[in-house]
Homo-oligomer: A and B are copies of this chain.
Amino acid sequence: MKYYFEADPNIDFDKVNNVVEQAYAEHGSGNVQMPPKMYVNFPHGDFRTMPAYLPAMNIAGVKIVNVHPDNRALHLPSVMALTLIIDPQTGVPQALLNATRLTDMRTGAAGAVAAKYLCPKKKEIVLGLFGAGRQAETQLEAISRVFTVTELKIWSVDQKLAEMFWKKYPQHDITICSPERAADCDVLVTTTPSRTPVVKSEWVHEGTHINAIGADAPGKQELDPLLLKRGRVFVDDVEQAAHSGEINVPISMGCFTQDMIAGTLGEVVLGKKRRNSPEEITIFDSTGLALQDLAIASIVMKQGKSIEIPFYT
């Protein structure tokens, strides 16, 4: 069994965007297997188990990822992930991958694919970011392969984090600003861990596309529920989004229902569903699919560094 141990296998975002888009197309065509993400809860965190099979890429496996928000105090990452790849033909364990960085990257790629298909502008955009952590970085890196980002406006509750972000990307014209100003953009990406809305509907102008990334567990939400009604909501997976995505709180409060979902990103990639007009506000509710993890694993298994670890039968 090969173990791809690198924290950052340094793969190109064009490749990641490409395979993640393929994975969404397969999801949209129904030619995949992906049981819903399972949560196991600890007193101070949780872990999630994400199995899937992507026949078009002949790859299957499971990602296991934790979320422990208090880890920063222990100087540990709050999110860490491993993916185990199983040979579909024999069930033999083929590979184990350090998937922490890969998880950020494939989430960035999902945002890029959503913006590519749903933003009415096709070349140059003003990008707004709520949150300035690792997720914000990979959203920017993936999205800037699809669009020229002419201006970047970022808001974070953590001013220091926003300044670090600003320093990290000197090639971009970045303004650290109020949330209201950051929300005035073409593509708005929210990557906060918020449990109450941080984006007000009145801040968002017509024609904006929003990637709602942060909400990934029951109780989390980032957007004013009014925005969900004003815009059209696309999800990565209906069951997962209803359980733990941006729409989970509005659904549990009775102000959003599953039949209000406009479609899945897979359907959008396949051209079955689309933005109706340039004025419409579109929202992509991302929870993260095990299929994206398999797609990015397929790249790492071609070019990543690995060590052989024994699997005795």
Contact = CB atoms under 8 A, between A and B. Distances in A.
Interface of A: 3, 5-7, 33, 35, 38-45, 47, 49, 51-53, 60, 62, 64, 66-68, 71, 74, 76-80, 82, 84, 86, 88-93, 96, 98, 100, 307, 309-313
A311 B98 contact: yes
Nearest to A52: B40
Given A74-B90, A313-B80, A62 B64 contact: yes
A90 to B, nearest CB: 6
Contact of A5 (B52, B79, B82, B309): B309
13 contacts: A35-B39, A40-B51, A40-B52, A42-B60, A43-B88, A45-B90, A49-B49, A62-B62, A71-B90, A76-B90, A76-B92, A76-B313, A78-B91
Contacts of A51: 38, 40, 47, 49, 64
A56 to B, nearest CB: 14
B40 A312 contact: no
Contacts of A88: 42-43
B49 A62 contact: yes
Contact of A86 (B66, B84, B313): B66
A33 B310 CA distance: 31
Given A40-B35, A309-B5, A313-B80, A67 B91 contact: yes
Contacts of A71: 90-91
Contacts of A82: 84, 93, 311
